[in-house]
């Protein structure tokens, strides 16, 4: 099944949160900084927001990715991912400043409430 691009809308539900936490803690995702996802001969690497996109089946287009102080986030993220740009920037900053996926998952679990 192809992943939807653009005009995708998601809601940050309890189920979405649990799927994201499980993926971040799974050890199946390799972490990168400065971008949502990248790939090379060793596999795919994700930012914590890239993991969320992958789990929810959303693939952003280039024009939807914004960068603020070197931290990528999704334009209209509250509509697209169900996460405000403030939350996205906070998580991207944590990711890009050396927090592990486990530490980010702990933060999400405690501080980000589903709708």
How high is the mean pLDDT of the chain?
78
Of 92, 93, 68, the closest CA to residue 81 belongs to: 92
CA pair distance 13, 44, nearest whole angstrom: 26
In this predicted structure, the answer to whether residue 113 has a pLDDT above a threshold of 60 is yes
Q: What is the mean pLDDT of residues 50-57?
A: 87
Q: What is the mean pLDDT of residues 9-17?
A: 82
pLDDT value for 59: 64
Top pLDDT among 61 and 20 is at 20
CA pair distance 2, 4, nearest whole angstrom: 6
**pTM exceeding 0.75:** yes
DSSP states of 49-101: HHHHHHHHT-B--GGGEEEETTEEEETTHHHHTS--HHHHHHHHHHHHTT--H
């Amino acid at each position: 099944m192809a992943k939807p691009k653009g005009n995708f809308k998601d809601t940050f539900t309890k189920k979405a949160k649990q799927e994201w936490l499980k993926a971040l803690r799974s050890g199946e995702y390799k972490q990168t900084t400065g971008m949502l996802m990248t790939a090379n001969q060793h596999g795919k690497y994700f930012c914590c927001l890239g993991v969320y996109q992958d789990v929810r089946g959303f693939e952003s287009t280039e024009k939807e990715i914004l960068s603020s102080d070197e931290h990528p986030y999704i334009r209209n993220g509250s509509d697209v991912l169900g996460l405000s740009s403030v939350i996205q920037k906070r998580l991207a900053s944590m990711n890009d400043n050396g927090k592990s996926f486990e530490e980010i998952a702990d933060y999400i679990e405690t501080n980000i409430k589903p709708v």
